[in-house]
Structure 1
Amino acid sequence: MIYPNNAAEKLGFLEIKALVRQKCLSEPARELVDKIQPQTNAEQVEKFLHQAHEFKTLLTADDPLPVDHMYPIRPLVEKARVEGTFLLEEEFHRVLLSLRTVFALIRYFNERTGKYPYLDMLLEHLPIENSIIRNIERIIDDRGKMKENASRLLLDLNQQIQKSEMEARKRLESVFKAAQNNGWTADGNLTIRDGRLCIPILAENKRKLKGLIHDESATGQTAYIEPEDVFHLNNKVRDLEFERRREVVRILTELTTLLRPHIPLLLSYHGLLTKLDFVRAKALFAIDLDATLPEIGKTCETNLVNARHPLLYLSAKAEGTGGVIPLNIKLDETDRVILVSGPNAGGKSVCMKTVGLLQLMFQAGLLIPAEPNSKMGIFRQVFADIGDDQSIESDLSTYSAHLSKMKHFTTFANAKTLVLIDEFGTGTDPQFGGPIAEAVLEVLNSKQVRGIITTHYSNLKAFAGKTDGLENASMLFDNAAMKPLYVLQIGKPGSSYALEIAQNIGLPKEVVRLAKEKIGEHQQNVDALLINLERDKKEIHDTKAAINKREKELLIKQREYEELRSYIDDNRKELLYQAKAEAKQILKDANKLVENTIAEIKSVQADKEKTKAIRSNLHQAIDKHTQAKPLVKKIVADNKDVDVDQTLQVGDWVRLKDSGTEAQIMEIAKNKNLILALGDLRTVVKPNKVEKLQGKEKKKAAKRFNSVSTGDAADFSPELDVRGMRTEDALHQLELVLDRAVMIGYPSLKILHGKGDGILRRFVREYLRKYSHISHFEDEHADRGGDGVTYAYIK
């Protein structure tokens, strides 16, 4: 599929595989990564891509995957397959740990049946055979050692050995004490020689103690003797240990025999572990790249939106130098071949390699660093001519090597071939190299190939401009600052800026002048035209960027206007409702007052003086209603909105109108909403919902807050442990602790999130970056947890 054989290496695909390999936990998975090759089967490519995508979703949005132990089972199973052989205790322990991981993984996916359909394919409906684990657990403990009671005979032998050792030790200590009392011993205590406990005896007294001399000191003044009585007891212990060893071998052989019928299932378990580890590595690499699943096309086409070269992106990310300028390019039936021109070091080769590398990654089942709305098809062949392949052994010059590749391209290329050619036509006399390159390009175009070709040749630019299926493109260049912009512009060829770059570098003016004369007036005019086109394209590009920025600002203004209009409409409705309600109440009170007045006049039988007094009371009531403040003023006073925030500042004390709760302004958002601190809690309210506290009220609120804060400070712990938590729960706890730390003025916070796959650590640090009160954060010292602990410092 790939020609020549070193094309994948030159595009950077081997480096990608090496980075994925680093993410694997087991050696079998690393071997799978080594075998990764671009595929041409559409169903297979789709399956691999969806598996990586689902695993990425699982790692970022689901519970942690139980992958505690992933020992390779296959070598142990192959050993157990042979009749008469047996696995050692530590080998059975590795099988046990791996099986526990396998069963935990099967249960994990069984609980999520249908959620990850492509990952479910890896399980192949494997059963959980608990009898294997039970048989091993009956014999092997959690330390990987055989249990004392693995069999009745083993238990009896262990007890006899223990009893005999104690008897031998007791007897030895008795002899040692007697020898000490007789003054026969040298300085020191009991010591081991040849695996036996011995007594250090002075050389002149060694004949006084019956026993076996195992060793002497370097000076010859001390002999190490095993007493005769103890010697027989130790021999008994040695015999018992031989018997125990025979029993251990018998038990392990029997256990291996029980394991042997399950060998096919164990190999399936091994395959599941390997494949899950392999797909997990691809998903982790995709997370590092911020890679996504593009749309999978059915035809040979490529439409990359905001694509980034993976290796350059990771390098820039590691160095913290900012992002990589994204690439937007499309290869389809209309524009099959893109001819990229422009200045040296302007990004032409990177553009071509980005397309080629992402295509190889895509067809190898790896997610790509581009927008999800990108679209990629499947090519049956990828031909690349990159760099200098001259060979002394094959008697090939640089140009001969290029021509040999062109021969292969023109012979075997077809409509399902992606062709990548760097610096097309170079390596020989331009007078002949240009026409030959044009002829090759014409043949390739007639074969309907897709491809990216970089060149400086003017005849190729002209040919592409007048030929269907070919499209010129250029890398933008700032000819004022004399630096490349690394932005691909489709539709027009670009200038090489050879004379401008030579002049900018400092080549003598006389040399530049002579070069201009030798180039010829026609070529200078063409180059000048290209430079003017380049300048126009840059102006258009800058104008479009400015328009986009202005559109975003207008959208923000429009959103603010809509919110303000909605707020005013709501206030107007509330105002009318309250006005109607108050008018209704006034009318009701007035009717009642008139009725009461008439009733009182009737009750006094229209007495002149009493009627006068009643009328006086009526007028006083009317005056009272007349002098009352208008409802509109009251409501407006209660609903100050647009300009209220102008008088409020961070640190001011306010009271919530609806509840009477006092709070302090911690922050004023861009949309003018207030972020308030109420004890341990934060809330967001509109400015019209609060009233500012002044004078004594402000002092009382601050005093109460300080008393509460003092209590909080006494109870507050600057250490937060979120290990084992789900991401959402961990961030919730982090928010609560950070809020308290900010309110009581605590300078720093220690967050224990563990290492693991680094997912929780990444989310914690992303949250800290967005928290306005965090000045910076750093890892703990390597001896005290390293990157499993984060220290956050508060402004």
Structure 2
Amino acid sequence: MSVYPRDFSEKLALSQLFDMVKARCKTDFGKKLVDKCKPSFEYEKVSQWVEQTYELARILSSGDQLPSRDFMDIHPLLVSIKAAGSFLPADEFLQLRISLDLLYDWTQYLKKRQEQYPELCRLTYGFIADKELPKLIDSIIDERGQVRDNASDRLKEIRADLVNKSQAVRKVISSVLRKAKTDGLTEEGSEVTIREGRLVIPLKAENKRRISGFVHDESSSGQTVYLEPAEALQLNNEVRELLYEEKREIARILTRLSDAVRERMDDLDKGGRFIGIFDFIHAKARFCLHIDAVKPKLTKYPVIKLYKAYHPLLKLSHDQSGKPTIPLTLELTRQGNRILVISGPNAGGKSVALKTVGIIQYMIQSGFLIPVSEASEVGIFKHIFLDIGDSQSLENDLSTYSSHLTAMKHFVQEAEESTLFLIDEFGTGTEPQFGGAIAESILSELMGRKSFGVITTHYANLKEFAEKKQGIINGAMKYDVSALAPLFELEVGKPGSSFAFEIARNIGLTKKVIANARTLVGRDHVDYEKLLNQLERERRDYEKLTKVLEKEQAEITELRKDYESLKSMLAEDKQKIIREAKDKARQIVDEANRKIEQTIRAIKENKAEKEKTRELRQSVATYKEALADKKADKKAKAASFNVGDWVSMEGQDMSGEILNLKGKQAQVRFGNLISFVDLKKLIKGRQQQQQEQSPRKKAGSYSMIDKRAQFQGELNVIGQRAEEALVNVDHYIDEAIMLGTDMVRITHGKGHGILRDVIRNHLKKHPMVDRAVDEHIEMGGSGVTLVVFK
């Protein structure tokens, strides 16, 4: 993959991004890989890189404990002992063992999870990582990085002799020191010390000849000398010889251990490379998680579908300062629009949008996850060209505009279908009339080559060009016209205004200056800008209206869900009631059949005695009357009704008094409720039946009678939302049914009839509601629903 210009990374501040990744590396090899990180134009390679980063990010975010400890780059250690006879110091062998232990743990971890992390597991192929060498090192080097006493039999003997000889030397010297203190030849607090690797005693300089021995050193003031007594010379020599012998034995042991490393050099070299690569991928994954990056859909062909995309560095900066970052959404495809022309006011976010596209494309083709929505889709580009900022070349004596044209020359010569070009402030740097014309011509040439691109501009001719041509589309950075403030949000599909006059007015330029500027620009251009501004205002109004409609739609959807749920519950209740009714009917029939069979059997057993037969027939008749009593009672209607008659509704026990008769309806008072009822639904004479109830039944029904007396026969839901009203209606209807109420009134008002229709449609599904109709015109008409129960 090629990028242009040479300072592409600097222009997009990619070095900041890579520095953050490098800071997360633990090995020099991993850091070198960050420095070498460049995008690839090969789909297979990019796909593999991205998948490796994605797999490691999944490991880190899954909570699954990845083996981890301090480790280092083992390559320098391996290089230092390539020559035969060379050896590593003991402390470096300790570092090698730690790294090899981690290498083994990593490879085993990945091989056990090959199906979950296939790309990472593939990195472990081609070398052997086992515990044999780390165990060998551990048997020789201890946790402090020193050679163990039992590394060899000879080393063990040498160190044992050293202990004995050293104790003997210290014993002799301590004895000399005690005598010197007694004789006043040294200070009372003096102790045995070491100079040039030998045990010595401190003496006052004037007394150095009073004790036989060898002076190894003196203090800086010259007042104290450090003397090795003659009695200890031979023992110290023997200790010194043992130390030399220990050093030679350690060298021999470490050389032998280094030979074991050299025998495995090929596998270790590959293992060391794996450690560096894994460190690099691990650093990438950690950085990607830090910026909330994801794996998008990756395709072989060029395409850019970015949804909710962020500039990673800008988002990190804003997050630290507590500022919001507005995401970017755009689509560039081979079949649709391949080029986006972004316009809008200065400092409105045009350049940031362009840089976001560039840095995200660079990241994905370098194997990074990107800060976008997972629904995003990106393809592979072979070339990415960038022209941004002040490109004045002092070295080549080129002006800013000439430098821009030099870049455009490269673009036109090298661009093809898999090229992505990014041009900021296209055409600026010279006279607008000529700069705009040249920019339009270059843009037309790039379109002809079917390249992909994002450009930013203020030029009206480029906006018009994008409106007229297929494959290119305008985009505007949103702007709050009323507040005269940028919103930093890209809207694709319309050109943007620079809002130059509005900004000038906002910063305080006089009306005269602005009016003169409008005249100089020309009416056509001013009208064009006014049209763009008007479109921006209308768009803002439309967005506000859309949000309101979306909220209302969400409420309707939620209400529909509640309605469907309630409908389902009522259907279940209905089926339950039907089943219970059938079961009850079956029990009644069975009981009746048993009664008849018993009667027939009794008649046969008594040989048809007249008196006994009469009694049995009377018993059957009484039982039949008891079963049919309620049904017969419902049908026992009076032929006519008069004002003052006591009546009840069919199927209800509560009685009421007729107050007035109008046609086929009667105005009846049921307790506190007065309502019009069809005459065919009334039954006469229920007051007397209630009076004939036994005192025991009345006493037992006291609490229910008390509740009926307190029950209000009307529910007012005017002003309530449909969802709230239905909940209140359900509670009210349940209470009315429980109290045996025949009918109730629900006052909802007329309005547009929406609340009335919702309530009545709801009541029609209720298994205990016979009908829900308009109240009498004198009692509220269509603004009140009269609910009659079965």
TM-score, normalised with respect to structure 1: 0.73
Aligned counterparts of 2:324 and 2:548: Cα–Cα separation in 1 = 21
CA drift of 1:152 comes to 0.5
For residues 732-771 of structure 1, give each alpha carbon's deviation from its aligned partner in whole angstroms, at most 9, with x where no partner exists. xxxxxxxxxxxxxxxxxxxxxxxxxxxxxxxxxxxxxxxx
Partner of 1:92: 93
* SS across alignment from 1:187: coil
State how far apart, in whole Å, the 2-side matches of 1:77 and 1:400 are: 53
* 1:310 matched residue in structure 2: 312
- SS of 2:20's partner is helix
Unaligned stretches of 5+ residues in structure 1: 634-640, 647-795
Instruction: Indicate the residue corresponding to 2:476 in structure 1.
Output: 474
Say whether the 8 Å CA contact 2:305–2:331 is kept in structure 1: yes
Q: Which amino acid aligns with 2:15?
A: L
- Structure 1 pair 205/24, CA: closer, same or farther in 2 (3 Å)? closer
- Give 1:490's aligned residue: 492
Aligned to 1:399: 401
Tell me whether 1:360 sits opposite 2:366 in the alignment.
no
For residue 267 of structure 2, give the secondary structure of its aligned residue in structure 1.
helix
The residue that corresponds to 2:168 in the other structure is 167
Alignment of 1:521-600 (within 5 A): 521-566=523-568
Q: Which moved more, 1:579-588 or 1:252-261?
A: 579-588
Q: Tell me, what secondary structure is at the counterpart of 1:403?
A: helix
Give 3-state SS (helix, strand or coil) of 1:24's partner.
coil
Instruction: Provide, for residues 343-389 of structure 1, a one-character-per-residue CA deviation record: whole Å limited to 9, x for no partner.
Output: 11111111111111111111111111111221111111111110111
Compute the displacement of 1:177 (Å): 2.8
Contact 2:174 / 2:192 at 8 angstroms: preserved in 1? no
Q: For residues 276-675 of structure 1, what are the structure 2 equivalents within 5 Å?
A: 276-566=278-568
Q: Distance in 2 between matches of 1:304 and 1:135?
A: 54
Distance 1:489 1:89, change over 3 A: same
Amino acid at match of 1:233: L
Hey, what does 1:775 align to over in structure 2? Answer: none
* Residue in structure 2 matched with residue 719 of structure 1 by the alignment: none
Aligned to 2:130: 129
2:243 maps to which of 229, 241, 250? 241
Instruction: After superposing the two structures, state which structure 1 stretch, 517-526 or 134-143, moved more.
Output: 134-143
SS of residue in 2 equivalent to 1:291: coil
Q: In the superposition, relative to structure 1, how do residues 193 and 255 fare at CA in structure 2: closer, same or farther (>3 Å)?
A: closer
Residue in 2 that maps onto 1:56: 57
Matching of residues 209-288 of structure 1 within 5 Å? 209-217=211-219, 222-288=224-290
State the distance in 1 between where 2:71 and 2:151 align: 26
In the TM superposition, residue 490 of structure 1 has moved relative to its aligned partner by 1.9
Letter in 1 for 2:256: E
What is the aligned-residue identity percentage? 39
> Residue 111 of structure 2 corresponds to which residue in structure 1?
110
SS in 1 for 2:261: helix
Deviation at 1:564, TM superposition (A): 4.7
2:144 matched residue in structure 1: 143
| TM-score relative to the length of structure 2 | 0.73
Which one has a bigger Cα radius of gyration?
Answer: 2
Contact 1:336 1:448 (C-alpha < 8 Å) held by counterparts? yes
Take 1:595 and 1:642, find their aligned partners in 2: how far apart are those partners? 51
Cα offsets for 1:532-556 (capped at 9, x unmatched): 2222233333333333333334444
Cα distance change on mapping 1:132 and 1:218 into 2, 3 Å: closer
Alpha-carbon shift at residue 576 of structure 1 (Å): 6.7
Is the partner of 2:149 in helix, strand or coil? coil
C-alpha separation in 2, matches of 1:163 and 1:579? 107
Q: Provide the rounded CA distance (Å) in 2 between the counterparts of 1:216 and 1:12.
A: 61
Q: In 1, distance between residues paired with 2:319 and 2:598?
A: 85
Structure 1 contact 295–376 (Cα < 8 Å) conserved: yes
Equivalenced residue count is: 629
1:390 deviates by 0.5
Residue 497 of structure 1, CA deviation: 0.7
Q: CA deviation at 1:580?
A: 7.3
Q: Which amino acid aligns with 1:374?
A: S
2:671 is matched with which residue?
A: none
Q: CA RMSD in A?
A: 3.6
Work out the CA distance in 2 between the residues paired with 1:249 and 1:318: 54
* 1:37 alignment partner AA: K
Change (3 A) 1:388 1:216: closer
| 2:491 match: secondary structure | strand
The residue number in structure 1 matching 2:43 is: 42
Partner of 2:644: none
Shift of the alpha carbon at 1:180?
Answer: 3.3
- Cα distance change of structure 1 residues 217 and 300 upon mapping to structure 2, 3 Å threshold: closer
2:31 matched residue in structure 1: 30
User: What is the identity, as a one-letter code, of the residue corresponding to 2:550?
Assistant: N
Kindly indicate whether the alpha-carbon contact (under 8 Å) linking 2:129 and 2:271 is maintained by their aligned counterparts in 1.
no
**CA offset at residue 332 of structure 1?**
3.3
Does the 8 Å CA contact 1:88/1:252 hold for their aligned counterparts?
yes
Q: Does structure 2 conserve the Cα–Cα contact (< 8 Å) formed by 1:316 and 1:324?
A: no
CA change 1:276–1:594 in 2 (3 A) is farther
Over residues 572-618 of structure 1, what are the superposed CA-to-partner deviations in whole Å (9 max), with x where a residue is unaligned?
A: 66677777778888999999999999999x99x9999xx9xxx9xx9
Name the aligned partner's letter for residue 294 of structure 2. Answer: T
Q: Give me the whole-angstrom Cα distance separating, in 1, the residues matched to 2:53 and 2:280.
A: 9
Q: Distance in 2 between matches of 1:172 and 1:566?
A: 103
Q: Distance in 2 between matches of 1:246 and 1:645?
A: 97
Could you tell me which amino acid in structure 2 is paired with residue 305 of structure 1? Answer: Y
SS at match of 2:294: coil
Quote how far apart the aligned CAs of 1:226 are.
2.6
Cα offsets for 1:675-715 (capped at 9, x unmatched): xxxxxxxxxxxxxxxxxxxxxxxxxxxxxxxxxxxxxxxxx
**AA of the residue aligned to 1:83:** A
Aligned partners of 2:125, 2:729: CA distance in 1, in Å? 65
Q: Which amino acid aligns with 2:236?
A: N
Amino acid at match of 2:8: A
Distance (whole Å) between structure 1 residues aligned to residue 413 and residue 65 of structure 2: 52
For residue 182 of structure 1, report the CA deviation from its aligned partner. Answer: 3.9
Q: 1:590 to 1:288 in 2, by over 3 A?
A: farther
1:271 CA displacement: 1.2
CA positional deviation for 1:404: 0.8
Return the offset for 1:438: 1.2
Which AA in structure 1 matches 2:136? N
1:403 deviates by: 0.9
Q: Secondary structure at the match of 1:185?
A: coil
Report the AA paired with residue 345 of structure 1.
Answer: A
1:72 aligns with 2:73: yes
Range with greater deviation from structure 2 (555-564 or 409-418): 555-564
Structure 2 unaligned residues grouped into runs of 5+: 628-692, 705-725, 732-790
